[in-house]
């Protein structure tokens, strides 16, 4: 197995490798028409296309794999190169995983429809939180994209289309560009997660800027995702923690939203909590936002929020005056705190976003959401439409999805070897890799380097694309 298997998890969603539990646009639209023979899918209802709701095969137990034998030499190191068995993966490419940002596209559409800039910021903030919600309990690792790999997704019912490309292998960088079918917004960015293994946990430091442009309002918002940590890599029950400050800037108005993804704390009271505020360019707080990234987000007037907090604190002091804290019972594992899956809603609050329930069989399907379940679906007719570099054609991911783990492992190793051989051939002829759909440039909002979509993908001229599979 290749030494260049990146322990590659999303800044949008760190996925621990160590789980211990079990053509033309009209032609393209025609190809999207549902075929009822496809596994787990549903026919169109009222003209809305239904996507498959399950995978061809359930996941299998990873209990027989010795994680410690693989990771014991990596403590304190950045995990840019590490050999990992295919059993730690989930049957999606990281390019597909990025696409899960778009699960709650309705929040962007809501922002586009609002006339008030603060209300738009609330919707954008809810979208930023929702973008990391899919990683809750997702402890499988997405496949590292091959250099030149692509993924496209068009969802007419949600009103967007997206293209992503793996633009660099060292360091691994994935670029994406999504746009509204109605011309209302553009959402783009490039992701380069920096990861380290600390013995009992894997920590991801987010790298890369995410940009959302609301074209009707001539506004651009930028932010980066929070840090993420997967606990109990070696021993105990895996659990995921998001923490750190996320700053969303409206570069047109000067409004800013600061969100604090709270670490769980010693006794777990803060697990999954997100609190923050929206301020105008004069730094006046106009709104408080609170909730959990695993559940829902609310907004409220700052004065009402502070009054509630003071009353709550006074009540807690009386209630816990004679109580003693209870410590962890297991020093070898970071026990996951008991989670209360409801947010205490402050009277007068406005609901911004609520997570969709996962399917009942999600635990047997890599803890996928309904949206994730459909991402690798290769519908009849799409083979003639998609670029040959689309990750739906990756044989290792397809084999894993079908439950054929030995074949998945063999194909994964073959693809890595093919990628190495191609790189050596380029070096021999002193050839530089050339990206196809994205070019390095400057983000006009931040002034920093970014990968910008150069256009042309959906004209479907796929000549001279690399043979990566």
Rounded average pLDDT over 364-369: 94
Is 19 a residue whose pLDDT tops 90?
no
Rounded average pLDDT over 369-374: 96
What rounded mean pLDDT belongs to the chain?
A: 82
pLDDT of residue 12: 29
Is 150 a residue whose pLDDT tops 80?
yes
Is 9 a residue whose pLDDT tops 50?
no
- DSSP, residue by residue, 66-103: -HHHHHTT-BTSB-SS----GGGEEEEEHHHHHHGGGG
Domains of the chain: residue spans and CATH: 25-316+329-456 (2.40.160.120)
pLDDT of residue 324: 41
pLDDT of residue 5: 38
User: Cα(196)–Cα(7) distance, rounded to whole angstroms?
Assistant: 9
Q: Which two tokens stand for residue 304?
A: 């009402």
> Residue 205 — very low, low, confident or very high, per pLDDT cuts 50/70/90?
confident
pLDDT of residue 71: 61
More reliable by pLDDT, 462 or 140:
462
Q: Which two tokens stand for residue 398?
A: 């397809």
pLDDT of residue 139: 79
Element (H, E) at 122: helix 117-130
Exposure string for 27-39, b = 16+ CB within 10 A, e = fewer? ebeebbebeeeee
More reliable by pLDDT, 262 or 27:
262
CA dihedral 445, 218, 278, 283 (to 10 degrees): 70
At residue 163, what are phi and psi to the nearest 5 degrees? -130, 135
Query: Of all residues in the chain, what percent carry a pLDDT higher than 70?
Result: 77
User: Cα(208)–Cα(11) distance, rounded to whole angstroms?
Assistant: 9
What is the pTM for the complete model shown? 0.82
Is 235 a residue whose pLDDT tops 60?
yes
> Residue 452 — very low, low, confident or very high, per pLDDT cuts 50/70/90?
very high
| Residue 448 neighbours by CB distance under 10 Å | 10
Which of the residue ranges 72-81, 337-346, 423-432 would you say has the lowest mean pLDDT? 72-81
More reliable by pLDDT, 80 or 358:
358
> Residue 203 — very low, low, confident or very high, per pLDDT cuts 50/70/90?
confident
More reliable by pLDDT, 402 or 39:
402
Contact 358, 290 (CB under 8 A): no
> Residue 64 — very low, low, confident or very high, per pLDDT cuts 50/70/90?
low
Angle at 109 between CA 104 and CA 112, to 5 degrees: 140
pLDDT of residue 395: 98
More reliable by pLDDT, 171 or 220:
220
pLDDT of residue 328: 39
pLDDT of residue 135: 84
Which tens digits make up the pLDDT trace of 115-135? Answer: 999 999 999 999 999 999 988
User: Cα(386)–Cα(28) distance, rounded to whole angstroms?
Assistant: 9
Which of the residue ranges 109-118, 148-157, 335-344, 385-394 would you say has the lowest mean pLDDT? 335-344
Which tens digits make up the pLDDT trace of 168-189? Answer: 988 889 999 999 999 999 999 9
Distances from the Cα of 307 to the Cα of 289, 312, 346, angstroms: 15, 9, 10
Which tens digits make up the pLDDT trace of 302-359? Answer: 999 999 988 888 776 555 444 444 343 444 556 655 555 578 899 999 999 999 999 9
CA dihedral 458, 192, 95, 28 (to 10 degrees): -10
Is 4 a residue whose pLDDT tops 90?
no
Which of the residue ranges 123-127, 219-223, 338-342, 364-368 would you say has the lowest mean pLDDT? 338-342
Is 78 a residue whose pLDDT tops 50?
yes
User: Cα(150)–Cα(139) distance, rounded to whole angstroms?
Assistant: 23
Q: Is the dihedral of CA 88, 90, 96, 100 positive or negative?
A: negative
pLDDT of residue 10: 29
Rounded average pLDDT over 203-211: 81
pLDDT of residue 200: 72
User: Cα(388)–Cα(152) distance, rounded to whole angstroms?
Assistant: 11
Which tens digits make up the pLDDT trace of 100-113? Answer: 999 999 999 999 99
Is 79 a residue whose pLDDT tops 70?
no
Strand-strand pairing, 227-231 and 438-442? unpaired
pLDDT of residue 244: 84
pLDDT of residue 330: 45
Biggest alpha carbon distance in the chain? 75
Is 37 a residue whose pLDDT tops 90?
no
């Amino acid at each position: 197995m290749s030494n260049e298997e990146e322990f590659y998890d999303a800044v949008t969603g760190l996925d621990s490798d160590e789980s211990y539990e079990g053509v033309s646009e009209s032609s393209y639209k025609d190809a999207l028409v549902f075929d009822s023979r496809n596994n787990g899918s549903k026919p169109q209802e009222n003209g809305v296309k239904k996507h498959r709701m399950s995978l061809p095969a359930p996941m299998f137990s990873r209990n027989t794999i010795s994680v410690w034998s693989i990771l014991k030499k990596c403590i304190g190191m950045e995990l840019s190169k590490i050999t990992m068995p295919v059993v730690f993966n989930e049957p999606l490419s990281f390019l597909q995983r990025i696409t899960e940002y778009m699960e709650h596209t309705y929040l962007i559409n809501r922002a586009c429809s609002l006339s008030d800039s603060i209300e738009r910021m609330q919707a954008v903030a809810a979208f930023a939180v929702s973008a990391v919600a899919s990683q809750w309990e997702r402890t499988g690792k997405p496949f590292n994209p091959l250099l030149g790999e692509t993924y496209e997704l068009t969802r007419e019912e949600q009103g967007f289309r997206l293209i992503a490309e793996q633009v660099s292998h060292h360091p691994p960088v994935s670029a994406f560009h999504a746009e509204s079918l109605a011309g209302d917004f553009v959402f783009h960015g490039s992701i380069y997660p920096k990861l380290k293994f600390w013995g009992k946990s894997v920590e991801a430091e987010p790298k890369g800027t995410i940009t959302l442009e609301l074209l009707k309002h001539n506004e651009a918002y930028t932010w980066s995702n929070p840090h993420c940590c997967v606990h109990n890599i070696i021993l105990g029950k895996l659990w995921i923690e998001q923490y750190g400050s996320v700053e969303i800037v409206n570069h047109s108005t000067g409004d800013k939203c600061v969100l604090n993804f709270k670490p769980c704390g010693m006794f777990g009271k803060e697990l999954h909590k997100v609190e923050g505020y929206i301020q105008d360019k004069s730094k006046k707080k106009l709104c408080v936002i609170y909730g959990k990234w695993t559940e829902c987000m609310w907004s409220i007037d700052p004065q009402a929020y502070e009054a509630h907090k003071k009353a709550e604190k006074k009540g807690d002091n009386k209630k816990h005056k004679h109580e003693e804290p209870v410590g962890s019972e297991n020093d070898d594992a970071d026990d996951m705190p008991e989670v209360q899956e409801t947010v205490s809603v402050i009277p007068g609050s406005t609901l911004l976003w609520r997570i969709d329930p996962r399917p009942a069989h999600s635990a047997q399907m890599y803890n996928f959401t309904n949206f994730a379940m459909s991402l690798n679906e290769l519908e009849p007719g799409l083979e003639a439409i998609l670029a040959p570099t689309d990750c739906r054609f990756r044989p290792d991911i397809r084999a894993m999805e079908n439950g054929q783990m030995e074949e998945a492992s063999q194909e994964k190793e073959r693809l890595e070897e093919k990628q190495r051989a191609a790189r050596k051939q380029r070096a021999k002829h002193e050839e530089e890799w050339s990206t196809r759909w994205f070019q390095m440039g400057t983000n006009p909002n931040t002034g920093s380097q970014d990968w910008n979509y150069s256009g042309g993908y959906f004209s479907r001229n796929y000549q001279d694309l690399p043979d990566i599979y």
